[in-house]
Structure 1
Amino acid sequence: MGEYAWPTGPEVPAAEAVRQSWAKTVVALPVGARVGGEVIGRRRFGAFIRVEGIPNAVALAEITAMAQGMELPPLHAHVEGTVIDHAHHNHQVKIRLPG
């Protein structure tokens, strides 16, 4: 696996499960909520995070929402951030990492 990888493996919720749980995820993680989780994938545009305590929730910490000069966290790192938006079209919780 290279430095940048799509989320794969048993720790990644299935796309259909994420879609079916989306309404509950949005209610459980409103804008402004603090979240924590494990980095399960990295791309040049951001890090995918499996959110703790919310089954089938996937968050994306986009590089554009990070402090200037901040680097993407490595795979399997534990991170914490704040919910800043919900991407309904692809069922992702957008978060901002502190920095």
Structure 2
Amino acid sequence: MSEYSWAADGAGAGPRARAAWPAICQALPLGTKITGEVVGRQRFGVFLRIDEMPDATGLAEITAAPRNAVLPAMGESVSGQVIWHADHNCQVKIKLAAWKAEA
């Protein structure tokens, strides 16, 4: 499984995220509840475009999911909570609310 739906300007997402990283971390501290859209799916989890934070990339890894969890579909709206800031790749790690309910 490998699906992506990045915006037309997705090639510049990395530099924009690095430039905005301090502001992203400040706006989305650990424990913050978020909503977003699934824009990428991989075997290890889903990438999210976080609402109200266009330069932030969220990642909900399957390791944060309960056993036998199903990854949300491309384009699906999801909600969750910030559980970590991955400074090395400027990603906001998310635990999806649906996974918390199933745990």
TM (norm. structure 1) is 0.90
Deviation by residue 1:21-43 (Cα, 9 ceiling, x = unmatched): 00000000000000000000000
Deviation by residue 1:33-72 (Cα, 9 ceiling, x = unmatched): 0000000000000000000011201100000001221111
Alignment RMSD (CA, Å): 1.6
Name the counterpart of 1:4.
Answer: 2
Distance 1:86 1:23 in 2: 10
Contact 1:7–1:42 (Cα < 8 Å) also in 2? no
Amino acid at match of 2:15: E
Contact 1:46–1:72 (Cα < 8 Å) also in 2? yes
The count of aligned residue pairs is: 97
- Determine which structure has the larger helix proportion and give its number: 2
Distance 2:3 2:90 in 1: 19
Percent of paired sites with the same residue: 41
Amino acid at match of 1:16: P
Gaps of 5+ in 2: none
Name the counterpart of 1:85.
Answer: 84
User: How far did 1:86 drift?
Assistant: 0.4
Distance 2:33 2:74 in 1: 20
Distance 1:24 1:83 in 2: 15
Distance 2:95 2:13 in 1: 24
Structure 1 segment 25-64 matched on structure 2, within 5 A: 25-64=24-63
TM (norm. structure 2) is 0.86
